[in-house]
Amino acid sequence: MRILVIQHVAIEDLGLLGAAFQQRGFEVDIRLMEDPQVFLSPSVKPYGALVILGGPMGAYEEDRYPYLFQVERLIREAYHAGLPTLGVCLGGQLIARAFGAWVGPSMVKEIGWYRIRLTEEGKSSPLFAGLPDDFFVFQWHGDTFALPKGAVLLASGDSCRNQAFVYGERIFALQFHLEVTEAMVALWSEVYREELLRFGGAAFPERLREETKRRFEEDRDIRRRFLENLCWVIAGGSRGCGLLSGK
């Protein structure tokens, strides 16, 4: 199976998803859009799935990043073709925008580990099969999305309500990051250090490092299960999540 991966910047890569895809034999075609030599595929037809990762730009900044218009067009094409699609953070916001929903600054910025809760629809979604009703996820965003008309909310949070939705049966948008590794969090903390200090003060980077270490130790099974679910969905699984092993 071949997956088109739209990666906006080098430091926000597939992370845990890369290893999971490789383990399952998926072929990934990564388009790193900050490289001026890279161009997007004109169509999703050669692919079996589409993944759009996060990035520091706004989904509404098409004037500065004209390729975002094409990303939105590819998302709509994937929907009409029935291709499984995942958007993470900026990717999720681009999915919302592709289907006519508002995307803009959130009332509350989120950086760090936050608890989210599955909705009733989320509990029955194959993407979250076998996961607790609430769990911690990594966040780093100042924008949020409204739900496109017809979308179904799958997860919500206290600081930022809309955390995950599905559009149709195969287009999944996440506001949070479950693909990050400890090394990615450390790298983002260094590259985006000024933003981190403005958000939480001088002591926040160390607190974030300690909490990240604890979450990776305590939530290992949650990450493993989520990655299993995601690979199953990306491979074309339907709503019949009973096919997925609970072990």
Catalytic residue ranges = 89, 177, 179
DSSP class per residue in the chain: -EEEEEESSTTS--THHHHHHHHTT-EEEEEETTSTT----S-STT-SEEEE---SS-TT-TTT-THHHHHHHHHHHHHHHT--EEEETHHHHHHHHHTT--EEEEEEEEEEEEEEEE-HHHHTSGGGTT--SEEEEEEEEEEEEPPPTT-EEEEEESSSSEEEEEETTTEEEESSBSS--HHHHHHHHHHTHHHHHHHH-TTHHHHHHHHHHHHHHHSHHHHHHHHHHHHHHHTT--S-GGGS---
